[in-house]
Structure 1
Amino acid sequence: MRSLLGISTVFLFLFGCKQELPTKEIGCKTSQIPCLEGLAVVDLQTERGSVVVQLDGRRAPLTAGNFMDLAKRGVYNGTLFHRVVRSPMPFVVQGGDPGTADPKVPQSAYGTGNFIDPITSEARFIPLEFQLATSGKLVYGQELTTTSLLKKPSLIHDRGSIAMARSDDPNSASSQFYIALKPLPELDGRYSVFGKVIQGMEVVDRLQQNDKLIKARVVSTNR
């Protein structure tokens, strides 16, 4: 239990962002972000090879849509996997901070960046999003802290799951994401999983801190 709690605490620290502004948009009906209604495939071309991820808009439409939109905008191109945690046990590979693509940004600032909307000149945040496994209902803006089977998310942290990084504010996810290196059930209901690696997990296993994500390319969508 001590080691599990310790890992969870480290996780929150690692994925903390300095800005903690709640989103004004809850769900696809009111969101200006294009939601993904079906599945999409995105190829993450890294300097160590290709990682292909499937985005699940059926169970995380807003979160998957946000990631696909950022990929189409080129936000992830040239960014770094600025945090890789494998010790004392496999944990996550994290990337998606737009600031890591700028050589003028010091490494001490890696992990604090968000996507700045060019239209509003403000950081864009999305709410915590889960689909309940039993009812299929989408819930936003709150962690699923209960152990009740009725409140379990349909998308969980398996090895290869891709999810959004955020601060302790549940509505502070922006562009940063992480890929789980092993099942992480202690994070289920706390961070929004929106897809999984379907090809190239061996590449993820080879990624080192500050390796480059050369280009993120949307390969296909299935609405």
Structure 2
Amino acid sequence: MNKSLIALPFLALSLIAAKAPPEPAKAPISINAPAEVAADPANRWTLDLSNGSRVVVQLRPDIAPQHVYRIQQLTSQGFYNGIAFHRVIPGFMAQGGDPKGTGEGGSSLPDLAAEFNELPHLRGVASMARAQEPNSANSQFFIVLSPTMKLDRKYTAFGRVIEGMAGVDGIAVGEPPAEPTKIVKASIGGPLPPPPAAVAAPAVVAAQEAVPVDPSAQEASPAE
């Protein structure tokens, strides 16, 4: 945001400063772990990887409640345990969450209605993969390796890595990798919370055949 500065004579500025009460300090703003979600340990998503690293994601139910609950729900069922990162592009993203390991699989739960939001796709942001249909996210997710703003408001960002980003950088690369890195165990930091208020969602699980690709290769749409 651009800010305009008004030049005042030194004396006038001193008088104004003397009369004006000090402004209260503003609380810092963080997109990583806002206080309203950090208080609930269930909003910490931990991934223990086969490369020996532990990755902790701060979930954001305040901006993507249905997607966060899906992650929590599948994690509590053990869905992600043993699943590989099947598509990892250096400098772009690491994608996992597909039990088939082909990019076309998902869970038995219905697809989710999109919850596109203001969280930018910066390094470390966790977001849901989907097919070309906006309302087709199911279980697959990706972690951004480098800022990729072209994905903003096109994919539902649901959290950000707050610990273990070096482990994400160490995930084996490839489409698929020759020896993929797997999620040994996924866990949340507390009991499964109650589901959020229901919203309209697709009734059929869509195969996630089209997921984010390198935006430098396709300018028009990262989903094609």
Considering fraction of residues, name the structure with more strand: 1
The equivalences for 1:26-105 within 5 A come to 38-39=37-38, 40-48=43-51, 49-86=53-90, 90-100=91-101
* TM-score, scaled to structure 1: 0.63
How far the C-alpha of 1:155 sits from its partner, in A, is 1.1
TM-score (norm 2): 0.62
Deviation at 1:222, TM superposition (A): 11
- 1:180-206 CA deviation, whole Å, 9 max, x = no partner? 001111110100000000100000001
RMSD: 1.8
Indicate the SS of the match to 1:79. coil
Alignment partners' CA distance in 2, 1:160 and 1:127:
23
Which protein has the larger Cα radius of gyration, Structure 1 or Structure 2? 2
Match of 2:130 in 1: 166
CA offset at residue 156 of structure 1?
1.3
Q: State the Cα distance separating 1:38 from its structure 2 match.
A: 3.9
1:211 to 176, 181, 184: 181
- Would you say the 8 A contact 1:42–1:220 is kept in 2? no
For this pair of structures, how many residues does the alignment match?
147
* Distance change in 2, residues 1:184/1:221 (3 Å): farther
Q: 1:175 is paired with a residue of what secondary structure?
A: coil
SS in structure 1 of the partner of residue 81 of structure 2: coil
Q: Which residue of 2 aligns with 1:25?
A: none
CA distance in 2, matches of 1:165, 1:222: 23
SS at match of 1:62: helix
Deviation at 1:221, TM superposition (A): 7.2
Q: Partner of 1:112 in structure 2? A: 104
Q: Percent identity, aligned pairs only?
A: 40
Hey, what's the Cα distance between the residues in 2 that align with 1:221 and 1:53? 16
Write the distance in 2 (CA, Å) between the matches of 1:194 and 1:66: 10
Q: Match of 1:193?
A: 157
Where structure 2 has 5 or more consecutive residues not aligned to the other structure, the ranges are: 1-35, 194-224
